[in-house]
Amino acid sequence: MPRRLLVLFLVVIMLMSASTPALALALDLDPSTKAVLQVQEVMDYIYRHHIDKPELNQLSEGAITGILERLNDPYSEYLSEDILEEYKEMLDGDFVGVGLRLQENGQYTQVLDLIPDSPASRADVRPGDLIIKVNGENIAGLFLDEVVSKIRGPEGTTVTLTVRRDSRDIEVILKRTPLSSPTVVSSKLSGNIGYIVVHSFGSQTADEFAVELDRLVSEGVKGLVIDLRNTPGGYLQAAVDMAGDFLPDKSLVVTTVDRDSIRDEYRSRGNACWNDPVVILMNELTASASEVLAGALQDYGKAVLLGDTSYGKGVVQSIIPLESGGALKLTTARYLTPKGRSINGTGLDPDVRVLTQELQLILAKNIVSPAAETVVKFSLIDKKASINGEEIPLQAAAYKAGGVVYVPLRFAMEALGYSVSWNEDARSIDLAGKNENIRLFANRASAVINGKDAALEASITTREGLSYMPLTAAIPGITVVDRSDEVTMVKAGRK
């Protein structure tokens, strides 16, 4: 045998001999211990022999990340001690930051709201601004949590944001400071209606909610709007406790089911203190504990849900502290509404679908305190409309062409109590009201109104990216008054 082949043969024999006892030992172990040993053995070889001399913490974090990724579960994650503390502080409204509440909006992240007296509010950052750059880095296409992590940082440090407002880019330098923001904020609206915004479901949220609700009751409000739009959730127990303000004692609020089909029931405590109308505002970012509260009140008929379909996070995570530090946020159960509905991946459907954000609160108030009629006015000279006297800015104005008045279709019909949806099969825009169904066709001067064909003087058209409808069809129950500078649509009663 040539010397080179002999050396290679001896090396292979040595390697096999060295590994054989470990393999034999592993074969006698239970599967979980064997798996742990395998990971430990791979990490040990990499740490001792890889040419790049990796650090142990680098390898352990990589191993944890890899294990969690194989679950294909976006909600299970490892939380370092720092991140765990930030997570708890965020839910309770206490954290170091610049005072921005953000939402995803296409390519860029958008400012949803600002914490009062925060660095962002003092720098004149405004709701609706788009975050274009963070510290000079363009953030186009990044997920919301990625943008948030870039904006966050240690207390006393600064972050430079480039925000876009009305096609103009503005650069602001913000100093990260400790902030404290209540998780629940309330106010009294016109018409003697209470309005409560829940930002998150923290450890004190149920108590804060009860205090604000009691205050509104003492002020004599006769209806309530709870705003859960863009509320990502938090602690399950907070939602259960808040449901107790509306449900009789020991009412089933939510059921959790673990992987062994073991069920745990969470029930309300105390006596319901609210019996007047309730509307819950929600959208596609209403998630988790928010959906627990909304789903329970919907099942019991205690609240009308208005807005868009919710996020659909129907699973429960447990925070498991690790002896080595940090914690594991692990999905351990699915939850069901009181009627046994699972909403994971599907969300809660609203009772009243209204996708136009500017209309949602106005229409919620009209459900709580119904008006005798709905009067929608469109200016023909600027981008403004009003509903029962309450003015709303528009993306694009109503207009007149060829003697026909065109109004923004979705805005107009949602304002009048119709749901608006696109029917792919019929290639039509379908309007659904109470005992009313209307089908309109793009680029076609005809409609189907309550099953009967109707001719129109003009067809739906598109302008500035919005669909416009001609006010020439005899839509049941709607009166149109056309003046030189405005057009008025009137519908009696509620949807």
Residues carrying an active site annotation: 288, 299, 313
**Whether the Cβ atoms of residue 59 and residue 46 lie closer than 8 Å to each other:** yes
485 is written with which tokens?
């500078």
- Secondary structure of 273-326 in HEC code, one letter for each residue: CCCCCEEEEECCCCCCHHHHHHHHHHHCCCCEEEECCCCCCCEEEEEEECCCCC
- The CA-to-CA distance between both ends of the chain, in Å, stands at 93
CB 305 within 8 A of CB 350: yes
Q: How far is CA 364 from CA 66, 83, 281, 303, 454, in A?
A: 46, 37, 8, 11, 32
- Residue 167 gets the label, from left (phi > 0), alpha (psi -120 to 50) or beta, of left
Cβ atoms of 100 and 144 within 8 Å: the answer is: no
Per-residue CA distances from 90 to 23, 84, 121 (Å): 47, 10, 19
Question: Is 276 in contact with 223 (CB distance < 8 Å)?
Answer: yes
DSSP 342: -
- Report d(CA 281, CA 360) in Å as an integer: 7
